[in-house]
């Protein structure tokens, strides 16, 4: 039997909310959050490699706790099978079967990422006049230190290439930095002697 598996993530805050919601009865949910019968506080569609799709949703009941509803569709959008999740936690594995194949969706809590940080770095770039400049980098969530270091290395190599034609004055030097940054796909802004590069 072939098995298809996909993994999706949700924020931890959302995961905790849905877990709490799945343990409450319909009246309390309506009084506190305004969800009523057959509302879907959570709904997602997950595509598999063979073009089948699984819908996963939390369904609010008038009485009793909500349940996790599962529906599997084939590549033409026709329903193949359906079921309910056994767990009261949305962060679980959910499986349905159809056409002698198993389809599994794993929902996990997303790995935490740091908030955007502003870090200042000073790097040496070899120019004929041994100029040194400060590059201010805005590092967004999800960018690793290795990726930042790789950027600096590529920037250094490009600016060294630009310096081979002769001496640079200060404006030409920063133009070389700007050209290198843009070639690497980064935004560049220069203020008062500093190179300020914002990584998207």
- The candidate with the shortest Cα–Cα distance to 141, out of 118, 162, 117, 168, is 117
Over residues 146-185, the pLDDT tens digits come to 666 666 676 666 656 555 555 555 566 666 666 666 665 5
Show the tokens assigned to 103.
Answer: 């389809």
- Burial class of residue 98 in the structure, from the number of CB atoms within 10 Å of its CB (0-12 exposed, 13-18 middle, 19+ buried): middle
* Lowest-pLDDT choice from 15-19, 53-57, 177-181: 177-181
Instruction: Please give the model's pTM, rounded to 2 decimal places.
Output: 0.57
Contacts of 17 (CB under 8 A, 6+ apart): none
Q: What is the pLDDT of residue 184?
A: 59
Gap between the Cα atoms of 53 and 73, Å rounded: 5
Show the tokens assigned to 78.
Answer: 């026709």
Gap between the Cα atoms of 195 and 152, Å rounded: 13
Q: What is the pLDDT of residue 87?
A: 73
Gap between the Cα atoms of 39 and 66, Å rounded: 10
Q: What is the pLDDT of residue 162?
A: 55
Q: What is the pLDDT of residue 147?
A: 66
Gap between the Cα atoms of 1 and 22, Å rounded: 32
Specify which residues 185 forms β-bridges with.
none
């Amino acid at each position: 039997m072939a098995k298809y598996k996909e993994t999706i993530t949700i924020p931890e805050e959302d995961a905790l909310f849905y877990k709490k919601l799945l343990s409450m009865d319909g009246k309390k949910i309506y009084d506190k959050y305004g969800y009523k019968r057959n509302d879907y506080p959570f709904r997602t569609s997950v595509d598999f490699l063979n073009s089948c799709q699984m819908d996963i949703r939390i369904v609010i009941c008038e009485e009793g706790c909500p349940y996790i509803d599962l529906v599997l569709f084939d590549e033409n959008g026709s329903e193949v099978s359906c079921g309910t999740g056994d767990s009261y936690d949305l962060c679980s594995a959910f499986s349905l079967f159809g056409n002698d194949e198993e389809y599994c969706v794993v929902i996990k809590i997303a790995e935490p990422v740091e908030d955007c940080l502003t870090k200042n770095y000073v790097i040496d770039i070899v120019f004929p006049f041994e100029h040194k400049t400060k590059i201010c980098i805005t590092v967004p969530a999800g960018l690793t230190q290795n990726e930042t270091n790789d950027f600096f290395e590529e920037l250094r190599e490009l600016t060294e290439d630009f310096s081979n034609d002769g001496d640079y004055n200060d404006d030409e030097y920063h133009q070389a930095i700007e050209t290198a940054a843009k070639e690497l796909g980064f935004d560049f802004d220069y203020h008062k002697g500093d190179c300020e590069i914002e990584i998207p």
